[in-house]
Structure formats: C-alpha cells, structure tokens
C-alpha cells in the first residue's frame, strides 16, 4: 500500500481540557470506576462507617482477596469507639457540653501548589492528596469549636497504617503537642492561632513506615474529662525521602535526584555491545493512578506494614512482585515468541498502562513482558515510592545456572557445541535496576548503588527475585554478602571456560576467556538522553590485577572453586568486526573475521564457523549455517575474511530481537593453540519517525505525523501501533492491519497537550515479523 495515508482521530473529555483528542484506550474506565466508588451515597457511607458489620463492602474476587488501594478510604481501626461527632455548620461546632473542646474540621493543606507538596517534592503527583516524604516537617490546620487554650486544653494526633496498627511496630503513631520540635521523632507544635483555628507543624522521623495513613485528632481537657475524636476524611501518604540526610535513601546530588526520582521518562538500552540500541520508556510515576497501584502492590505482597520503613525490605519485595512467577505479581514473563493471548513485550513503551491494568483488575497479572519491561516497571514503582532508581543494561550478560561463577561451554571431539550440556548461557543483553540506599546490614562501604532484578531467572530463598546486591560488593568479588551477589557477579564478571570431550567421554579444559561477559554496562546519563557507561562501577578494568583478584575471591565461594584454565602461549588471535551500525533486517548480513599472526613464524589453522538464530536470553533456536575456513598466515600477517549470511537463509527463522550467535573454533596446526570466539549480533530494525505539527501549547490542539516503512520484501501481518505521551495524550492502540513489502505507513495523531514543559511522544510497532521498532519526538509544551 505505498503512499496510503491513514488518519486516526477520536475525541474524548480527558484531563484539564474538554475536547482533548487523544484517541485513548479505555483506561478511563479505571478512573471512572474509582470515581463512581467514591461518589456513593452519603447515607450509605455513614452507615458503613458506623456499623461495618451490617453494611459490608461487596466482595471482589481476586487471587488473595486484596482490595484496590484508594486514597478515599482507609479501614477504621476497631479501637476507636467514640460517640458520634457533632456536625459543624458554616465552620462552627454544635457543642454537646458547655465548654467542651472538639474538632470541627481538618485541612491537610494538600494542594499541589501549597507549601507541603512543594517542600516535599510531591507536587508532580497527579492527585490533590497530602503526599509527604518522611523525616521532614509538614503543616495542617485544625478548626475547633472554640479557641484552644494551652492552660486548660489537651490535643494530640494519631496516625495509623495497616490492618492492625500497633504502637510497638511503628504502625500506630501517637503525636504529642510540644513547645519545641526535635528531629527524629513524631511531634507537633502550634505555630499559628487565629480564633478557633490553629496551624500545626508536624515532624516525622526519617525511618517512618511508608504507606497510607489515617489521621485522627483527639481533644480533651487537662482535667481528664471525656475525650472527643475526629477522623479526617482524607488520608496521608508517606514516602521515602532522598532529600533527607537521615533517610537511608538520601542522595546527595540535586541533579541526580531530579534524574533518578523526579524524571518520568528515560532510556532503556538493548541489542549487542557492538550495536547498542536505545528506546524511550515512559516511567510515568506521577501519572494518575500510579501511586495507588504502587501502594496496592505493597498491600498485595502481604509484607507486614512494620517492615515498610526499611528500603532493603521494600526493594526485595518489589523485585518479587513485579513478576508473576510465584505470587501473582504484575507481569507475566514470556520468551516463547507466541504472544497471541496478550501483548508482545516489544510493543510496550510505558509502565503506566501495565500498572493501571494490574490495579484495576484487582491484581490479575498482565501479559507479557521480558527483561526491559520488568526493569521499566521496577523503575516506576521505586521512583514513585521515593527510592532513587535507574534501568541498567548489561551486554553479554551471563546466566550462571549452577552457582559455579563460571560460564561453561562444552564442545565435542570436533570442537562443535554440545547443545544439551550447555545449560549456562550468555544473553545478548539483560536489563535490571540499580537503586540507591545505605546498607547498615552490611559492612561499611557497601552502601550506594544496589542491583535489583525483577526478571524471573532463578529463585532466591524460594522466590523469583534478586537483590538488592551491593554494586561495590560485586566489584570486589565479595559474593558472600547478601542479597544474591553471586548471581549478579557471574552476570558481569564470570570467566567463560571451554571444555572438549575426550574419546572416553571425559572432558578437559582447553580454553578460558576472561573478557567474555559484562560489557558496556549502560544507563541513561543524568540530565540528557545520552548513554552513560557504568561498567567501571561493576568491575575493575579487564585483566587488571584488581579484576583478577575479584574473580578469584568470588570463585572461592562458588561450586567449582578450583577450575582455572592453564595459560597458553597465544600468538594467533581471531575476532569478529561489525562495520558501522551493523547489518539491517531484510538484507544480507555481512561481518568481517580478522585473524592475526603475532609470531615471526608462519601459521596454519582451520576455523569452524557456525551461526545460529538466538533469543536475546542466549537460548539458541537452531543452527542455520555451518562452514570451514582454512587459513594460512605469513609471519605477523593480519588477514580479513568476509563472512556473509544471505537473507534467504534467515528470513523464516527470525525470533524476537532478530539476534544471532556466530561461534568460531579452531586449532593452530604448529602450536596446537585453540582459537575460540563467540560473537552475537543483531539485525537493525527501522525507526518510526514522529514529526510534530503546529504549536505545542497547553489546551491547544496540535498534531504529529508518524511514519514507518516496511524494510522487508514481504508483507507485514496485523500491524498495530501504540502511541503515548505523558502530558500529551493517553496511551492507545492504532490498528493498521497488513503492510505490503517496502510500503510506507503514515498516521496523523491529533491531541491537546495538558501539561507544560519538555514532553516525549512515543510510538512503537507491534507485529509478528518485526520487533523493537519504535520512535520518539521531543515536544516542548508552552503555557497557554
């Protein structure tokens, strides 16, 4: 369909401006459902509050009968059995006893533009609730039925979280009224009094439990008369505080706090070390419904509320809950290539839709994800809760299945891989997360960045989770420190050992690669979309004495502590070169094999090459080409061999990521030196081009033209585009259908920006024949 133009446009009443035209999926039903629930009749609400046993909430079926987390209602603890409060009219209380002090109303001062939200860096969260960070003072206003007197009246606050609040567990907090506030404790002080109104400044400790709190205000006289209790209709949300020096997640750099806590978009890297690709990901931690979803995940995890003040506990639980492997978590992993009953992992470009869908379905796992999706969601949840985090990609990432801290490759007598024995694998890339925190549970020096991985690979203490593991401990080889440090160490710094089968069935070690894994460890740079290489944080320079000491130290704690290769004199080397950005899908793949003779004598060798289609996880689908290449080298000669994989040989064999592994093995005739090399490469896919049209102004309609050209000489079946832009329009699908060979598709999106500032419009393509096709446009939205 060359030249065909598809224009997609729907209208909807979304966000701040009626008539905003994001053609959205029905994510609205999630919010509408929540609004409907909040708008139930006042009488029914009052009856439920006064007599919960008679007017129960309707049950909602779920895996563990965990209710949706909503800001509007927190279960009232049974301990409060005060008589009904007098109802105020026009700001004045109706007194039941002459002179008795009671609360008429409480203003949490929760406006986004107010002092509380601004000072606590929570003004970006979508809802107008009081969202706070621990270890920092905040203010509320209390209206009483008469002026408060410190000589005759008594007042204190209570905060409760969880289903069974206990003072001893820090989940039931009693906040006294004091004359002077002190750090690191719950206290309140009257800072302003005007008639019947008092303004309180409240201090929280930096180790407070995070989550949803209910607030009550209790008043009485100093004589000990009967008390009155007022329960606020709105709840308070407490988060971790990277701005507070006493908080264990404190990050002492404002630009890094902006990047790792406040930035709601980012970049996730994929591909191979020689062909690094990048895609934009919308984390959306401040988006409508995401904070509720994150609190819901914590509730569903059944982690005791008393443990939610420790970021080590929280991160470990989140790493388990993001995958659905054993606890009905957020996302189902799928590496089969069949996503017909869900969404292809490469089609996602945002955490928002996934988290809102999980929450709105009361905890039904969403299908499907792979490592970069698990990482993107983990970044969203941790940043939303206030823990600095980032997505990290490790290229040539080893998967050690037997805790040997080596990656073992088994070859037969002819130096061909023995597939059924090669259980260890090296993924082209693997994406996990770093999160920032102190580690008081470890020896000094192990705080800072911690590796955490939500992709279900191996179990940890019986559950599919990984981390947090100290990056400093990984770098030093201190794999005896918790949590899951050996697994992450093997991913980034294990040796690859080659074994050859003897005629009697035994194996001998013939070669050791010390630089085979852990390359180009990447994350988005602070303050820009550039790639930052953080390999040096995870490992010392390759072949340095420090790096070898770290490997040997780690290996002592593995299942094969005595396996080390015997050094051999190496005067012939073989490596594979990829020109430019590498081969493209739909064309022949061309690489160069460079063989060097470093000696002053001639050398001969026969190189066996074998190329296989490979999932990015390192699992081989099947070999598609084999050949032998005799090589004769003069003294000090370098020879380049052109290697070609024709399109016709791979066109029907492609899997996700369009990846291949080229294995080279051989032996030098004169010295019996073994040559071995494994190189992964991918076929580059085309980008989606997004061109903004018109001025980008809040409340004013604009458009964007999205274009894509099919690179294949065959028809793409069932093409679907996914488009989303935080602050621009809701995420939605555009069904295009079949796209002919080398055809061009053009979509025109119409939408009304709802938020000012720099924004990103992201599009991705979902299609069985192509994956990792995406595009992004930077749009700066001006105020109206």
Handedness of CA 108, 109, 111, 114 (dihedral sign): negative
638 annotated among ligand-binding-site residues: no
Q: Is 453 in the active site?
A: yes
User: Which pair of tokens denotes residue 111?
Assistant: 């406006």
Tell me how far apart the alpha carbons of residues 532 and 528 are, in angstroms, rounded to a whole number: 10
HSE-up (13 A, CA, CB side) for residue 194: 5
Q: What string of DSSP letters covers 172-227? A: EEEE-B-SS--TTS-EEEEEEEETTEEEEEEE--TTPPPEEEEEEEEEEETT----
Q: Residue 372: name the closest of 613, 722, 616, 679 by CA.
A: 616
Tell me which of 424, 453, 484, 766 is the catalytic residue: 453
493 annotated among ligand-binding-site residues: yes
186 upstream amide cis, omega within 30 of 0: no
Q: Tell me the β-bridge partners of 589.
A: 645
542 annotated among ligand-binding-site residues: yes
Tell me which of 120, 287, 399, 430 is the catalytic residue: 430
Would you give the distance in Å from CA 625 to the centre of its chain?
A: 38
Q: Residue 726: name the closest of 766, 763, 693, 753 by CA.
A: 753
Q: What string of DSSP letters covers 539-569? A: SPPTTSHHHHHHHHHHHTTSS-TT--PPP--
Q: Is 520 in the active site?
A: no
Q: Is 126 in the active site?
A: no
The answer to whether 645 and 660 have CB atoms below 8 angstroms apart is yes
Q: Residue 298: name the closest of 345, 367, 372, 237 by CA.
A: 237
Q: Which residues does 297 contact at the CB level (< 8 Å), separation at least 6?
A: 318, 321, 329, 330, 358, 381
Q: Tell me the β-bridge partners of 238.
A: 132, 211
Please count the other Cβ atoms lying within 10 Å of the Cβ belonging to residue 211.
24
Tell me how far apart the alpha carbons of residues 715 and 738 are, in angstroms, rounded to a whole number: 7
495 annotated among ligand-binding-site residues: yes
Tell me which of 371, 435, 520, 767 is the catalytic residue: 371
Please count the other Cβ atoms lying within 10 Å of the Cβ belonging to residue 98.
5
Output the known binding site: 493, 495, 542, 547
Catalytic residues: 371, 430, 453
List, as residue ranges, the binding site for Ca(2+).
Answer: 493, 495, 542, 547
């Amino acid at each position: 369909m060359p030249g065909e133009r598809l224009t997609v446009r729907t209208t909807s009443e979304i966000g701040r401006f009626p008539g905003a035209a994001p053609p959205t999926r029905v994510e609205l039903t999630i919010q509408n459902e929540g609004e409907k629930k909040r708008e139930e009749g006042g009488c029914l609400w009052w009856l439920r509050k006064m007599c919960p046993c008679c007017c129960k909430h309707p049950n909602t079926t779920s895996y563990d009968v965990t209710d949706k987390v909503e800001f509007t209602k927190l279960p009232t603890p049974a301990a409060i059995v005060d008589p009904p409060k007098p109802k105020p009219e026009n700001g004045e209380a109706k007194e039941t006893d002459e002179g008795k002090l009671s609360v008429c109303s409480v203003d949490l001062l929760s406006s986004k533009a107010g002092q509380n939200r601004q000072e606590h860096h929570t003004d970006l969260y979508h809802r107008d609730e009081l969202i706070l960070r621990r270890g920092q003072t905040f203010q509320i206003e209390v209206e009483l039925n008469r002026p408060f007197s410190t000589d005759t009246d008594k007042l204190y606050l209570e905060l409760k979280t969880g289903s069974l609040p206990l003072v001893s567990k820090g989940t039931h907090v009693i906040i006294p009224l004091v004359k002077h506030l002190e750090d690191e404790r719950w206290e309140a002080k009257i800072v302003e009094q005007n008639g019947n109104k008092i303004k309180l400044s409240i201090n929280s400790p930096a180790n407070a439990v995070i989550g949803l709190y209910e607030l009550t205000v209790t008043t009485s006289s100093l004589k000990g008369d009967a008390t009155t209790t007022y329960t606020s209709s709105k709840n308070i949300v407490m988060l971790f505080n990277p701005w507070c020096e006493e908080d264990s997640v404190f990050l002492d750099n404002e630009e890094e706090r902006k990047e790792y806590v406040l930035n709601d978009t980012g970049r996730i890297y994929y591909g191979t070390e020689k062909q690094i690709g990048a895609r934009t990901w919308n984390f959306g931690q401040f988006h409508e419904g995401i904070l509720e979803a994150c609190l819901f995940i914590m509730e569903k995890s059944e982690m005791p509320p008393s443990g939610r003040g420790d970021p080590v506990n929280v991160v470990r639980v989140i790493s388990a809950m993001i995958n659905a492997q054993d606890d009905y978590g957020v996302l189902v992993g799928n590496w089969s290539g069949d996503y017909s009953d869900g969404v292809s992992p490469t089609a996602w470009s945002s955490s928002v839709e996934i988290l809102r869908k999980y929450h709105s379905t009361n905890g039904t796992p969403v299908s499907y994800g792979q490592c970069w999706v698990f990482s993107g969601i983990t970044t969203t949840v941790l940043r939303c809760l206030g823990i600095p985090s980032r997505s990290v990609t490790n290229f040539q990432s080893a998967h050690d299945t037997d805790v040997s801290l080596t990656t073992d490759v088994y070859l037969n007598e002819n130096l061909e891989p023995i597939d059924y024995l090669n259980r260890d694998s090296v993924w082209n890339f693997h994406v996990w997360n770093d999160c920032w925190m102190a580690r008081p549970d470890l020896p000094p020096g192990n705080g800072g960045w911690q590796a955490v991985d939500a992709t279900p690979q191996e179990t940890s203490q019986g559950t599919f989770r990984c981390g947090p593991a100290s990056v400093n401990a990984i770098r030093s080889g201190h794999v005896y420190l918790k949590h899951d440090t050996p697994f992450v160490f093997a991913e980034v710094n294990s040796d690859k050992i080659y074994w050859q089968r003897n005629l009697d069935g035994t194996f001998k070690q013939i070669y050791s690669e010390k630089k085979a894994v852990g390359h180009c460890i990447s994350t988005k740079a602070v303050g820009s979309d550039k790639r930052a290489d953080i390999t040096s944080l995870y490992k010392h320079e390759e072949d340095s004495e420090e790096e070898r000491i770290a490997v040997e130290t780690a290996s002592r704690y593995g299942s094969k502590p005595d396996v080390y290769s015997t050094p051999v004199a190496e005067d012939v080397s073989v490596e594979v070169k990829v020109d430019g950005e590498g081969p493209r899908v739909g064309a022949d793949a061309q690489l160069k094999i460079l063989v060097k003779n470093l000696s002053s004598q001639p050398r001969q060798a026969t190189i066996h090459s074998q190329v296989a289609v490979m999932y990015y996880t390192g699992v081989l689908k099947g070999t598609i080409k084999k050949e032998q290449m005799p090589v004769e080298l003069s003294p000090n000669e370098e020879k380049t061999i052109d290697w070609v994989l024709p399109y016709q040989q791979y066109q029907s064999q492609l899997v996700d990521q369009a990846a291949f592994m080229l294995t080279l093995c051989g032996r030098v005739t004169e010295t019996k030196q073994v040559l071995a090399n494994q190189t992964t490469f991918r076929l580059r896919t085309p980008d989606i081009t997004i061109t903004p049209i018109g001025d980008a102004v809040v409340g004013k309609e604009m458009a964007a033209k999205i274009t894509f050209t099919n690179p294949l000489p065959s028809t793409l079946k069932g093409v679907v585009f996914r488009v989303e832009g935080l602050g621009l329009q809701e995420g939605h699908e555009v069904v295009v259908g079949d796209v002919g060979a080398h055809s061009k598709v053009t979509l025109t999106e119409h939408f009304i920006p709802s938020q000012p500032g720099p924004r990103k419009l992201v599009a991705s393509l979902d299609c069985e024949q192509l994956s990792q096709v995406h595009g992004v446009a930077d749009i700066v939205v001006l105020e109206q």
